[in-house]
Amino acid sequence: MKGPTSKGIERRQRDISSIKCTLALLSEAVTDPANFISDRRLHSAVSSQGALAKLADDRRSIIAMSLNHQRKVAEELPGGFLALDRLRRAVKSALEQQSTREHEAGRTNKAALRARIVELEALILSLRQDLIIVQRAYDHRCAQARSYAKGASAAIRALCEKEQREIEATFSLRSVHSTQNEKVVSIKTARPRAPQHG
């Protein structure tokens, strides 16, 4: 009876090495599933015993083989095929749990962003309302000042006009000028709305 040929021994060693590399890959994945969550090939490989046997990865020196052959070769390693299959199922579970965690985290982040948008929209509305109040108060104050200045001396009237121009120049720096209906207008356009006196 002839013994194994050198080619047979070489192939056997290659197959054993491949399964060892598969075990190393599975050990990495079960330890850090987040790092493998986007590896669709690994997801597919751990879905069943047959799929894992067909896994091929040249970079990791993993070669595809039949399930029966993988079973036979794995029995030569500590723990046998049972250890390999147990690790496969552990990786499958770890990837599923990681996927669920990331999905839930994504839903939480979206909900938080929606809540923040609602909060900012409310703040914008409040600021617009405050701007309308301030602009109306300013227009009213200017109208009063002009009314009071009419009965004063020419010097007082000139001073009043000068100071109001300075105030208007400051207000013109605003980026938004709102009316009560939230239309954007200039200060001079808004002024006629103020009550007139005298």
Q: What does the alpha-carbon distance between residue 132 and residue 85 come to, in Å, rounded to a whole number?
A: 71
Q: What is the pLDDT of residue 2?
A: 57
pTM above 0.95, yes or no: no
24 alpha carbon, distance to own chain's centre: 32
Average pLDDT per run of 10 along the chain, which is 198 residues long? 73 94 95 92 95 95 96 93 95 92 80 81 82 78 75 79 75 58 46 44
Q: Which residues pair with 178 in a beta bridge?
A: 184
Q: What does the alpha-carbon distance between residue 135 and residue 19 come to, in Å, rounded to a whole number?
A: 78
Q: What is the pLDDT of residue 188?
A: 45
Q: What is the pLDDT of residue 184?
A: 43
- Residue 169 CB partners (closer than 8 Å, separation 6+): none
Q: What is the pLDDT of residue 163?
A: 79
Which two three-digit tokens encode residue 83? Answer: 């250890």
3-state secondary structure of 76: coil
Q: What is the pLDDT of residue 74?
A: 94
Q: What is the pLDDT of residue 149?
A: 73
